[in-house]
Amino acid sequence: MGITTPGSSNFNEMVSPIIPINMMGGKGQYDDFIAVYENFMPSAVCNDIISFYDEWKEQAVKQHMSSDLRSRHAFDNYEESMTGSHQFSQGELGRFDYSIMLETLNHTLTARINQYLQSGVNDYCAQYNALGGTPLTSWNVKFQETPAGGGYHVYHYERGSWSETARELVWMIYLNEDFEGGETEFLYQKRRIKPSTGTLVIWPAGFTHTHKGNLVLDGTKYVVTGWYYKQPV
């Protein structure tokens, strides 16, 4: 699989039309403004994304770039994160994962993801039609690898700082399910979503949907995630 650079001259040729929602898993399951679309993105596409990342990470390790992939909340010692012996002062587990911004590394895969994603977001906005008049835009596709012992274990929300105030919606697509744990847990809704391959989840970015990623107990969890922002009018 080739690695496409941001400057690729044929980027526009790679962007395909939005795939209708009835050609995927169908309309979402809606509860407390959380939409879950099961079997939404084909497993073949999910596997292609993981394969690209594995290939890219292998090159990054060879070029001594792997430390740049770690979350800014990562533990200093991986073994401590695995055992849970390293905790924040408030006694909560912190965060350990690896991530890359896919849109800067592979335009082809980014375009394929957006074929599916845009259809889901359109359906979400139709379900909650107050969003219909809100111009939204998205430019981030963040790939995350969470090994056993990892995850973002502190409750948080996606509009938690001044720089994030334009975030309106959050989306996440689970790329695999061959691991234990790693559920997405929403605090006030008292709800856990169990990852399954190709499932898309969309929810509001505000404090009402404070959430965390539960500990991955065994295996490795892969997701792509990002945000939809309010456009200035």
SS3 sequence, 95-119?
EECEEEEHHHCCHHHHHHHHHHHHH
Is the CB of residue 201 less than 8 Å from the CB of residue 154? no
For residue 104, give the amino acid letter: T
CA distance 176 to 198: 7
Which single residue is written with the structure tokens 């995927």? 24
Does residue 224 have a pLDDT over 60?
A: yes
pLDDT band at residue 66 under the 50/70/90 scheme: low
The yes-or-no verdict on residue 125 having pLDDT over 60 is yes
* Lookup: tokens for 200: 């898309």
- The burial class, CB within 10 Å (0-12 / 13-18 / 19+), for 53 is buried
In sequence order, what are the residues at sequence separation of 6 or more whose Cβ sits closer than 8 angstroms to the Cβ of residue 17?
115
Model pLDDT for residues 83-100, shown as the tens digit of each residue: 334 433 444 455 667 888
Looking at residue 61, its pLDDT comes to 75
pLDDT at 110: 93
3-state SS, residue 122: helix
More confident residue, 200 or 232: 200
- CA distance linking residue 42 with residue 45, whole number of Å: 5
- List, for residues 99-121, the tens digit of each pLDDT value: 889 999 999 999 999 989 999 99
Contacts of 49 (CB under 8 A, 6+ apart): 102, 109, 113, 143, 175, 222, 224
Domains of the chain (ranges; CATH) run 23-62+75-222 (2.60.120.620)
Q: How far apart are CA 75 and CA 97, in angstroms?
A: 9
Contact 85, 96 (CB under 8 A): no
